[in-house]
Structure 1
Amino acid sequence: MTPRPRKKPKIGFDSGPVGGWGSAKSVGEILIREHIPVSGPALLSHQNKPDGYMCVSCAWAKPAKPHPLEFCENGAKATVWETTSRRADRAFFAAHSLAELEGWLDHDLEEQGRLTHPMRWDEATDKYVPVSWQSAFEEIGRELRGIPPEKVEFYTSGRASLETSYMYQLFARIFGSNNLPDSSNMCHESSSVALPESIGASVGTAVLSDFQNCDCIFYLGQNVGTSSPRLLHDLQDAVDRGVRIVTFNPLREPGLERFINPQAPSQMLTGKETPISSEYYQVKNGGDIAALFGVCKALIEADDALHQPGFTRVSGSDAEPDDPANAAAVAFAASMRAADRKHVLDHDFIAEHTSGFEEFAAAARSYEWRELEQVSGLTREQMMQAARTYASSDAVLMVYGMGLTQHVMGVQNVQMVVNLALLRGNIGKPGANICAVRGHSNVQGQRTVGITEKPDLAPLDKLAELYHFDPPRWKGHGTVDVCKAIREGESRAFISLGGNFLRAAPDTVALEAAWRKLRLTVQIATKLNRSHVIHGEIAYLLPCLGRLEIDTQASGPQAVSIESSVAHFHGSRGRAAPASPELLSEPAIIAGLAKATLAESSVPWDRWVADYSEIRDAIERTYPETFKGFNQRLFQPGGIPRPLPARERRWVTPNGKANFITPPRLFPQFESVEDERVLHLTTLRSNDQFNTTIYGYSDRFRGVDGTRRVVFLNAVDIARLGFVDGDRVDLSTAIEPETKRMVSGFRIVAYDIPKGCCAAYYPEANPLFPLSHHDEKAKTPAYKLLPVRLSRSETAPLE
């Protein structure tokens, strides 16, 4: 099937609230488009149910008591997209060369449908041609044996199950490689680095019941409407019982403003909306640390005033006795007294459980309000109002997403969230915890079972004991390291367990050019994408069963397991018929590759493939505390909670305390961007995509239909830069001037975004991001903040 022609773009319409009839219509449209109007709804009835399958989209948890329909618009799209009746079969590949397919857009490649047969690239015809599974395994194994292990990359997408991920990391390590980059490197690695330093946990501490026990939610840098719409049910329930939601986000996003529950007949019939955010603060791109410092400063100085008669601030050049901020702190303290609150801060918690408070408090006091206002984009009164709301609440839940993690200072962003929570003891009690909303289903879980490039985070001694081999101890490649190694010709092979690495990674143009020089590329996938049509000297496309499909092995139908955003393990059982009889399961493919590659191994690969419960027993033997009773509890309603000492206020840190960690500065230091024409770019997902998967061209929530090549600007900036709404512009990177990075033919769209900022869709804007543009510690690509320039475009739009 050739790509369908698209309609003329439409810009600027009002979508109304998130959910409601718009969501119902969108789900209906994709069911019809993918030719499953009858089987699709029947399958969706099992989505995220205790005995059903986990959604392949976001990582939100299965509740113990599910709604009648436990899926959202984007979750339904993900299910329909994977169970489509369309097929990218042998006839399709016989009709199209890879050179031709390189010119197709991302949506058009995936829309061809499910892959049906193992394929090998044929150089003579430039086409994928069918190959037997055994031949594929044998050649891949032969090639891998000829390449040094340190030059082979084993990438993992977040969709792989715990069972598959465990097998994959074991295969890589027995082969001799610690190069285990994964999609977590691209999104929440900042959390994985920040949280252990602060609270001794690598993941958030929240559980679903915290949404029922909190009296306030601070919601930071996470667009619930596009990234995890099922979470809107929890937010709506919280709002209905009087919880205040304080939102920090650059753009005005409908999902954070108003919601109509498509599963509530009274709301659908009456149009009654639930307002989500009670306070909405549009922080500048990259202004999160300054905004949170402002909230913390207001809290600390109000506490000073509460306990110091005649209080006068002494830090900062704007701290005069009659300064309005001094009066505001005193008034804040007076309001606490009137509410019969003896403290603004939780001094008992700080004294018993934390370290580093005095240094952090001194830093907060020292910042001048005008500096915090300039960097954050918020007014002093806005930051103080957020502080007053926080101080008047007893159990505050901190929710954040990639709007905080994908930054040059992503680790510090996360640690500022923790600092704010620690000030009032909002970790480790009902309703008060840290909720790091993960993007991809099981992206967190694969790390839990050993997918990590960092040898100190893997149980290497235990693996050596169980499987009788000497694991490599050298530090492997994360995502940024892989890109660098490929670009410099150091990597020779790339094995991909799902995902679309080339589109997800930064510095796209340079990476694609280097990718073609790889000796071997192997893609385990369900649908075609760009990482499959750009290829190495030898290339294989290995189609696998999807999580939604019935997986029958020697012992019968199998189940797999997934870890959610709130660190609970859930069983998942496929319900759809396989797309092709030629498909193998992910565990079967990993076992086939391992047996063909490894000279010898004590791993019972065939037994594991025959019965996945044996893989789970092996996982439990490797991680006995984390996975106690794994098989017996696999389908426990609400999931199996992962043990996290920080939930019980036990801090597994070197000093045994939760740590206030003070960021060294408010904003990244960029070179050579002192130019009033420079804007700070953030990337976004539309509500018609998930990560690199593009379901369609309608971003209903932002009033964009028929195109993705748009850049959102404040109306003041549009006029200031000499443009008008609708102009075509090119965007170029304003750092690393020695390399020209540009994307062309983007249409300007006026939007409610802070002045000095702009936004464009991911992954279309990825070519702008230098490989070096990442968090220093976590190496997470900084997709949420990049200095760019706009110039008038002569390029025709690629709609």
Structure 2
Amino acid sequence: MSTSSDTNEPKIPSGGWGSMKEVTKILLKERVPLNTPAILLKQNKTDGFACVSCSWAKPANPHPAEFCENGAKATAWEITNKRVDADFFARHTLRRLESWSDHELEAAGRLTVPLRWDGALDRYVEISWDTAFAEIGAQLRALDPKKVVFYSSGRAALETSYMYSLLARMYGNNNLPDSSNMCHESTSVALPKTIGVPIGTVVLDDFEKTDCIFFFGQNVGVNSPRMLHQLQEARKRGVPIVTFNPLRERGLVSFVNPQSPVEMLTGHETCISTQYHQVKAGGDMAAIMGMCKVIVEADDAARGAGGERVIDHAFVAEHCHGFDDFAASVRATAWSEIERESGLPRSAIEEAAHEYMRAKAVLGIYGMGLTQHRNGVENVQMLVNLLLLRGNIGKPGAGICPVRGHSNVQGQRTVGITEKPELAPLDKLAEQYGFTPPRDKGMNTVEMCEGIRDGKVSAVVSLGGNLVRAVPDHGVLEAGWRALPLTVQISTKLNRSHLVHGKVAYLLPCLGRIEIDRQGGVEQAVSMEDSTGCMHGSRGQAEPAAATLLSEPAIVAGIAKATLAPNPKLDWDAWVMDYRKIRDAIAVTYPEIFHEFNQRMWTPGGFRKPVAAAQRKWNTPTGKANFTVTDGLVADPDMPGGPGILRLFTMRSDGQFNTTVYTEEDRFRGVKTRNVLFMAREDMDAQGLADGDIVRASAVARDGVERKVDGLQVVEYPIPQGCVAGYYPECNPLIPLSHYAKESYVPAAKSIDIRLVRSRQDAAVSAAH
């Protein structure tokens, strides 16, 4: 392993006074209501609202403040007193707004009225809700349904998602891509083949029973900070935590619990990771293969000496298929290949493997550091191989734990948001609603982008999100977005997707989840699924930003009524007036998961959907859990590589959630701008660069298309040699649309070959840190 000095790496812990200060700053900056502290105390509570940012599990017995720094930022961001209304657009053309940063756009405040773009004025102008629905419906009826896409971010509730999937299928397509296409679709493809379920097997109770935790490519301090409570409690019990990540993320290094008066007063830090291995970007599969090699060879030695076996052969014999082939591939893999691809010395991998072998119950936790690679599916399958060797799936304290990002992205899939018709209960929907659902495969996110680029998509309806900014290949795709005949955005705040829009464009402002949703004077509640497959009720606590806002269910129903023929088996208005009726309908469609939905949705800790693999029942073609053999250890074999080429991976900051940027600075990495590249000293020297130099990054691809990002400031940082890190979504223009995970189509954002050229502008620009 080679990393540069730690000159620019802050040593501050996650949590502590830094988090308290950041929360205070954003509450003041957003001028939130005086009752916000009381609202925050309802966050992630059984009788409160589910956080609008991460989807980490909600405990049955929550902490007094069951929210993290980013969760508080998300709440302040949503209930801000700032407003974006018709007067705002009277003052700003879209051309002028395009010069604003992502942070500045969303910081302008909440959208409050329905709007339609006026091309002559280059402004959005206010229209009535009735006009908006009528016009959108008329235009959708005039289009070929196969060329219309219904995209959704991970934020919409189960009720809205169910309605939205029905709208699309009754309209005539399965074009239901969502944000999981860009993050954990590799999980949804890999796990059914190996263990028979598309989600993880771990629940919160397993953290109390585990005796070892492994992390791969997941930044808990930014993406799921509330998990730090479970990690801190595990560390206090002496549970080792072994981390593989290219950067030393502060949340996986040390933590000061803001809810502990003693820790806050004394500054006492909990060391989170007992081993921290800075694997090369994309090197996780090789590192895991190395651990499997240590285990298999130790087992071979024990067998030869007549000693206690290392592999759980009883579990493997009863529950697994393909072990012999996998073990043979492990034995045949050379350490030289493992070290080269992982960027780690053999001794480091052996140290991690020995920790694994000492444990009786191991949790394998991972994020997009595994999934967003060309071989992202194989990365996940390799982690399954490691866990299966010692029976670490389907027993207390053990299992595989993919950490989903957005608050209900997993739940949307559960209730029908999928482009894959085989994953939706189409026969049941046909019986329930008396229509003929389309059976042809819909577009995923990459296929949608290809269709937009090639002029084969006529309209995009987007339920939340900032799709233009989230997808790869901005420069290539922007012209396609502007050529779309129709775009419809259901949103709470202004973002880049509202500026780069179709020829006819509508902005439909919706209530936020934290706001009280009254229908006919009656307060409604919605529901979410967390990362562990548990369902939770959520009830808004704050007054709406404006009386003109509609709820997401009301907007989906409005579009549906204006677009579709009346259906005697579906009363959209009745659903909008009483969300319990939507949940009753969901329970009819998915009885195994949602029986007695309305009665169970307020269960403390949530009610869990069936996860067969957690009970060692394997719904796979072999009827067993499957070991898989990889074709090779290179995570991104299609990247050309070569002299002078660096491997870029994208990441988030501590002041960010997905495409939402709360603040330009990143205190965990010590920079005050997002236009930076973090580099190892060795690579800077090799390229003749100094700390603070300004560079252009150009993607290296075989399709001849120029992809570049200018004005990036080089920051020396402890990072594996040959790798550089930059922020998402600023570096998305460097990702070729064709560079995605095999089978899952997840953009391979964690491994992009780039070249750097020093900018001609003055290199003495003010320092970023």
The TM-score, its normalising length taken from structure 1, stands at: 0.94
Alignment partner, residue 383 of structure 1 = 349
CA distance in 1, matches of 2:547, 2:145: 33
Within 5 A, what are the aligned runs for 1:560-575? 560-575=526-541
Within 5 A, what are the aligned runs for 1:717-796? 717-736=683-702, 738-794=704-760
CA offsets per residue over residues 254-295 of structure 1, 9 Å max, x none? 111000001100000000000000011111011111100000
Contact 2:117 2:506 in 1 (8 A): yes
CA offsets per residue over residues 743-794 of structure 1, 9 Å max, x none? 0111111111101101000000000000000011000000111111111113
CA distance in 2, matches of 1:761, 1:736: 24
Alignment partner, residue 465 of structure 2 = 499
Amino acid in the other structure paired with 1:161: A
User: Deviation at 1:675?
Assistant: 2.1
- 1:212 is the counterpart of 2:208: yes
Within 5 A, what are the aligned runs for 1:23-172? 23-36=19-32, 38-172=34-168
Alignment partner, residue 318 of structure 2 = 352
Residues 524-533 or 600-609, more deviating: 600-609
CA distance in 1, matches of 2:9, 2:721: 22
Alignment partner, residue 6 of structure 1 = none
- 1:657 is the counterpart of 2:653: no
Amino acid in the other structure paired with 1:300: V
CA distance in 2, matches of 1:440, 1:492: 27
Alignment partner, residue 422 of structure 2 = 456
CA distance in 2, matches of 1:420, 1:670: 22
Within 5 A, what are the aligned runs for 1:463-474? 463-474=429-440
RMSD between aligned residues = 1.3
User: Deviation at 1:37?
Assistant: 6.5
- 1:178 is the counterpart of 2:174: yes
Alignment partner, residue 620 of structure 1 = 587
User: Deviation at 1:604?
Assistant: 1.1
Q: Which of residues 517, 521, 529 is equivalent to 2:495? A: 529
Alignment partner, residue 309 of structure 2 = 343
User: Deviation at 1:636?
Assistant: 0.4
Alignment partner, residue 258 of structure 1 = 254
Alignment partner, residue 15 of structure 2 = 19
| Closer, same or farther: CA 358–723 of 1 in aligned 2, 3 Å | same
CA distance in 2, matches of 1:37, 1:381: 55
User: Deviation at 1:737?
Assistant: 5.1
- 1:249 is the counterpart of 2:260: no
CA distance in 1, matches of 2:725, 2:639: 21
- 1:636 is the counterpart of 2:603: yes
User: Deviation at 1:38?
Assistant: 2.5
Contact 2:256 2:268 in 1 (8 A): yes
- 1:301 is the counterpart of 2:297: yes
| Closer, same or farther: CA 546–671 of 1 in aligned 2, 3 Å | closer
| Closer, same or farther: CA 348–686 of 1 in aligned 2, 3 Å | same
Alignment partner, residue 234 of structure 1 = 230
Within 5 A, what are the aligned runs for 1:505-524? 505-524=471-490
Within 5 A, what are the aligned runs for 1:272-287? 272-287=268-283
Contact 2:374 2:637 in 1 (8 A): no
Within 5 A, what are the aligned runs for 1:426-437? 426-437=392-403
Q: Which of residues 512, 519, 528 is equivalent to 1:553? A: 519
Amino acid in the other structure paired with 2:211: D
Amino acid in the other structure paired with 1:400: Y
CA distance in 2, matches of 1:108, 1:361: 54
Q: Which of residues 531, 545, 556 is equivalent to 1:590? A: 556
| Closer, same or farther: CA 547–795 of 1 in aligned 2, 3 Å | farther
Alignment partner, residue 327 of structure 1 = none
User: Deviation at 1:503?
Assistant: 0.4
Amino acid in the other structure paired with 1:636: T
Alignment partner, residue 694 of structure 1 = 661
Unaligned runs of at least 5 residues, structure 2: 1-6
Contact 1:155 1:496 in 2 (8 A): yes
CA distance in 1, matches of 2:158, 2:625: 30
CA offsets per residue over residues 328-358 of structure 1, 9 Å max, x none? xxxxx9xxx6xxxx22100000000000111
CA distance in 2, matches of 1:18, 1:732: 33
Residues 64-73 or 509-518, more deviating: 509-518
User: Deviation at 1:663?
Assistant: 1.2
CA distance in 1, matches of 2:163, 2:638: 44
User: Deviation at 1:555?
Assistant: 6.5
Alignment partner, residue 326 of structure 1 = none
CA offsets per residue over residues 178-237 of structure 1, 9 Å max, x none? 100000000000000000000000001100001000000011110011111111111001
| Closer, same or farther: CA 25–432 of 1 in aligned 2, 3 Å | same
Alignment partner, residue 4 of structure 2 = none
CA distance in 2, matches of 1:685, 1:163: 29
3-state SS of 2:349 partner? helix
Contact 2:375 2:636 in 1 (8 A): no
3-state SS of 1:699 partner? coil
| Closer, same or farther: CA 349–149 of 1 in aligned 2, 3 Å | same
Contact 1:713 1:750 in 2 (8 A): yes
| Closer, same or farther: CA 15–74 of 1 in aligned 2, 3 Å | farther
CA distance in 2, matches of 1:640, 1:205: 14
User: Deviation at 1:102?
Assistant: 1.3
User: Deviation at 1:12?
Assistant: 3.6
Amino acid in the other structure paired with 1:424: R
CA distance in 1, matches of 2:228, 2:665: 21
Contact 1:744 1:795 in 2 (8 A): no
CA distance in 2, matches of 1:600, 1:672: 51
Contact 1:13 1:704 in 2 (8 A): no
CA distance in 2, matches of 1:291, 1:764: 29
| Closer, same or farther: CA 656–672 of 1 in aligned 2, 3 Å | closer
Alignment partner, residue 547 of structure 2 = 581
User: Deviation at 1:795?
Assistant: 5.4
Q: Which of residues 459, 466, 477 is equivalent to 2:443? A: 477
Contact 1:555 1:611 in 2 (8 A): no
User: Deviation at 1:42?
Assistant: 1.8
| Closer, same or farther: CA 525–239 of 1 in aligned 2, 3 Å | same
| Closer, same or farther: CA 194–670 of 1 in aligned 2, 3 Å | closer
Residues 403-412 or 734-743, more deviating: 734-743
Alignment partner, residue 332 of structure 2 = 366
Alignment partner, residue 3 of structure 2 = none
CA distance in 1, matches of 2:732, 2:458: 24
3-state SS of 1:712 partner? strand
User: Deviation at 1:25?
Assistant: 0.3
User: Deviation at 1:462?
Assistant: 0.4
Amino acid in the other structure paired with 1:676: P
Amino acid in the other structure paired with 1:376: S
The TM-score, its normalising length taken from structure 2, stands at: 0.97
CA distance in 2, matches of 1:653, 1:767: 38
Identity of aligned residues (%): 59
CA distance in 2, matches of 1:485, 1:700: 39
User: Deviation at 1:14?
Assistant: 2.6
CA distance in 1, matches of 2:638, 2:500: 34
CA distance in 2, matches of 1:157, 1:669: 27
| Closer, same or farther: CA 15–548 of 1 in aligned 2, 3 Å | farther
Amino acid in the other structure paired with 1:560: V
Contact 1:204 1:436 in 2 (8 A): yes
User: Deviation at 1:427?
Assistant: 0.4
Residues 156-165 or 32-41, more deviating: 32-41
CA distance in 2, matches of 1:511, 1:105: 19
CA offsets per residue over residues 394-452 of structure 1, 9 Å max, x none? 00011101111111111001001100000000001100011110010000000000000
